[in-house]
Amino acid sequence: MDITTLSNYVVSQFSQQSPDGITPMKLQKLLYYIKVWTTVAEQELVSASFEHWDYGPVNREIYDSYKEYGRNVIDPTQLDPVHINESARGLVDFIVENYIKFDAFTLSAMTHMEEPWKKTQRNNIISSDLIKSYYRGQYFANNFRPFDLSNNEFYPLHNYSFTIDMTEKDAGEITKYSSYEAYKHALIEAENRFNEEW
């Protein structure tokens, strides 16, 4: 898929769900994680490459397209409406839904802790081999073996502060859900309980 088409889709579909809107920096990280997880799922939707820049992975074409926004939120009304096919949309939406709650600097910090960015020299392209070898071993990768939200258990992105004192097996068992829907339901319940208490 063309990276510009994908970026327009992400901004137009997810700006309202992003607590802080979508800035160019946040968009770069969302697109990077789409590339990562579609690669892991062996459904490589993003042929574009990402380079090691100071604030994490960056695609030059997207950088040039959105640099006029600087640190400001991208206005989705300025973009052409985009439609992508249903199978691609399900995969892209799932990935973005799991990262959209993080702000741009948190997403950048996440990429800084991950080997593909760390092992790539500044301004060099992060290789598909590094992406595959690192991310296939991550907990979240279980969601793509195969990708089937209707029938698979769901493995959320690890909250390292919660799981750091646990064995990998224990952390996996505690944070695994029977389905993606069960996970989303648990999040809503937790938010409701929090709002009731506070």
Across the chain, which has 198 residues, the per-10-residue mean pLDDT values are 94 94 98 97 91 97 96 92 88 97 96 97 97 96 94 84 53 77 90 82
Residue 82: predicted pLDDT: 86
Question: Residue 66 and residue 23: Cα distance in Å, rounded?
Answer: 9
Question: For residue 101, how far is the Cα from the chain centroid?
Answer: 10
Flag whether 181 is in a domain: yes
Identify whether residues 43 and 112 lie together within a single domain: yes
Residue 168: predicted pLDDT: 58
Question: Residue 136 and residue 149: Cα distance in Å, rounded?
Answer: 18
Domain tally, the chain: 2
For the chain, count helices (H), then strands (E).
Answer: 10, 2
Residue 1: predicted pLDDT: 87
Look up the domain containing 67 and give its range.
3-138
Identify whether residues 63 and 157 lie together within a single domain: no
The closest alpha carbon to 79, from 9, 128, 1, belongs to 9
Identify whether residues 86 and 16 lie together within a single domain: yes
Identify whether residues 134 and 55 lie together within a single domain: yes
